[in-house]
Chain A
Amino acid sequence: MEEKDIQLLDDFFNDLLKEEERQAVLDRVESDPAFAAEFELRRDMSDWPRRETARKALRENLEAIGAAFFDEPAEEQAPPVMKAQVNWRRWMLAAAAVMLLGVAVWFVSRPEPSLYRQYAHYAPPNFTERGDAEEAAAAAENAFKAGRFAESLSALDRLLTVQPDNLTAALYKGICLLELDRPVEARGVLEPIVRGRSALRADAVWYSALSYLLENKPDVCRNALLALQPGDDHYEEAQQLVQQLK
């Protein structure tokens, strides 16, 4: 780096250049890689003290927040509270234990396809819709909780007529269809959620994959499960199931 370029960058970052001179520097950054590298370093240096102040503030915040999470065993941590569907997952965890008894009975009476039942544990939905959809949402929720999936499906269809973009209702419609042994239709309902980027995507991938167990297609199920990544809901269950399906 020549002395004149060092002086030029000093003046640039001291905001001492005229507008056309500033633009000439920026143009040269685009065309001269060595100059661009030096410019980037000087920009980072110019920003570093300010960013260090922000870094320290963030680190302090992380330390304060982190203390509440890593001082207790993983099993005892509070569940996420971010969005409405998270409450469902809290229900799911509680319901999983209750479902175990039903699973045992089911295993005795219907051995195939057992893996679907082993992994398809979910909680009653908790719709909180209001207005025109309120009746349909309540009916769907109550019927689902009682295991009356055909009735819940009917109510969900009514709800989706009023609220076609209600992804939560669509997800539970897919689950109802699975419970009614209609896996192809279930996948049709779940597919748009699987292809989307909503917070329910992982749930949809999971139940869509489980649908193949109902059709005794373990290879397809396994491939579908591979769409779940670490950090996604159901990822760890999916890894266990993938191992069982090998």
Chain B
Amino acid sequence: MHADHQYIEALRNNDSRGIQEIYHRYSAQALRWVVQNNGTAADARDVFQEAVMALYEKALDPAFVLTCPMGAILHVLYSRKWIDRLRLKNRESEVRKENDTRYNAESFAGDALSVAEEALAEQARQERLGKAFAAISELCQRLLTLLSNGVKPAEAAVQLELNSVDTLYRRKNACVQRWRAVYLEQ
């Protein structure tokens, strides 16, 4: 376990003190990198936050243990996020330039690179689930949110004005199948 694993625990627990330390330690480097690559301080703030959120997705895996410096992972994450933004803005010449920077910068990374890629893949997967969730009915969203947050089925049935727990389960199963179908169609 790397000493920086304490920051993974801070993310898991939404611990403000630990998160402030992450910013203290790594934000200046992110700011410099983004500004040096045609971004603004606001851009840097956004992509750094998205990088931390991506790492959070990886941190949600209880088996995940950090074995490399967190700064290296964050560097891969925010630099990729920024390159993707440039690409979306069709700033093609800058994208090409940043791709050069990207591969040069990542040549050192080793474990950090694989962890970052896993984090990005997991973040993309969760975002797809989120988009599909937003496409199902409001009742389905309320029902699934109640049950996911630990509300007992009988209580959820009352809150949703359903006749019985059996009805709740039937409705839930239908909601899950609809959600799944939308997710797989994306």
Q: Which positions in A face B, CB cutoff 8 Å?
A: 6, 10, 13-14, 16, 41-42, 44-55, 57-59, 61-63, 65-71, 73-74, 77-82, 197-199, 201, 226, 229-232, 235-236
Contacts and interface: CB of A to CB of B under 8 A. Distances in A.
Nearest to A48: B129
B23 interface: yes
Contacts of B16: 61, 65
Contacts of B25: 80, 82, 231
Interface of chain B: mostly helix, strand, loop or mixed: helix
B137 to A, nearest CB: 14
Contacts of B141: 49
Interface of chain A: mostly helix, strand, loop or mixed: helix
A170 to B, nearest CB: 16
15 contacts: A10-B169, A42-B176, A47-B148, A48-B133, A50-B145, A50-B150, A52-B133, A53-B145, A57-B14, A65-B19, A69-B24, A69-B31, A74-B31, A80-B21, A230-B72
Given A78-B24, A229-B72, A62 B53 contact: yes
Nearest to B75: A230
Contact of B24 (A41, A81, A230, A236): A81
A10 B174 CA distance: 10
A231 B41 contact: no
Interface string B171-186: 0110011011001000
Nearest to A82: B21
A182 to B, nearest CB: 29
